[in-house]
Amino acid sequence: MAKTNPKVDAYILKAQPFAQPILNHLRKLVHQACPDVEETIKWGFAAFDYNGPFCTMAAFKQHCAFGFWKAALMKDADKLKRAQSNSMGHLDRLTSLKDLPSDKQMISYLKEAMKINEAGLKLVPRKKAADTKPLAVPPYFKTALSKNKKAAEHFANFAPGQKKEYILWLTEAKTEETRNKRMEQAIEWISEGKIRNWKYLKK
């Protein structure tokens, strides 16, 4: 098998015993259909790239899953989407080799997915669901903001999504102590005009 990645080897070895034959077989078929595929680990799963993201496979405690990155553009898109309702993958829940489509069918799917990537076809961007109701600012947060003029001014000028990030961060705290620590940090950042995830902004 060409161009294998030790990280994917390790991923398969760590999988449950029932999952290993499934993952090994899927991996073999991917390489058979697409000799130039590159293996990697993405989002904690085994992934395959060919002219961009191609397909992924994952192992869980009781089943495996396999997905095509651009399944929505494939001929059997509706069928693959229905299978996804029971699993994160497009082949339904895989618990044994018997659950897999025939090798011929899998090779056909893989070659179709390859052509989609070779043609440079792109998925239609998902529309972000608009928030119909803005999140209410908790009273304790309002009080804290009112005590810091700069923070109050900056927060008022934040976009709705930026305000929401701070509100969720506070309201999702599991203890009052954690909430108070977060609020203290939030007020400091907001007074400096910083959004919740300012650390991750590209410089």
Residues 124-162: tens digit of each pLDDT: 776 655 555 667 888 999 999 999 999 999 999 988 888
Do residues 12 and 23 lie in contact, with contact meaning Cβ atoms separated by under 8 Å? yes
Q: Which one has a higher pLDDT value, 187 or 201?
A: 187
Res. 38 pLDDT band, cuts 50 70 90 = very high
Residue 83 clears pLDDT 50, i.e. is over it = yes
Mean pLDDT of the chain: 89
- In angstroms, the CA 32 to CA 168 distance is 47
What residue type is assigned to position 58 of the chain?
A
pLDDT at 195 over 50: yes
Rounded distance, CA 38 to CA 114, Å? 13
Q: Please list the residue range(s) of the chain that carry CATH number 3.90.1150.200.
A: 6-118
pLDDT of residue 68: 95
Domain 6-118 has CATH 3.90.1150.200: yes
Q: Which amino acid appears at position 57 of this protein?
A: M
Q: How confident is the model at residue 116 (pLDDT cuts 50, 70, 90)?
A: very high
CA dihedral 179, 185, 186, 191 (to 10 degrees): 150
How confident is the model at residue 1, as a pLDDT?
A: 46
What is the CA angle 38-124-70, rounded to 5? 30
* pTM: predicted TM-score of the whole model, two decimal places: 0.61
Q: What is the pLDDT of residue 2?
A: 62
* H or E element that contains 65: strand 64-68
- What Å distances lie between residue 178 and 144, 166, 196, CA to CA? 15, 14, 16
Per-residue confidence band for 53, with pLDDT thresholds at 50, 70 and 90: very high
Q: Which pair of tokens denotes residue 63?
A: 């089943």
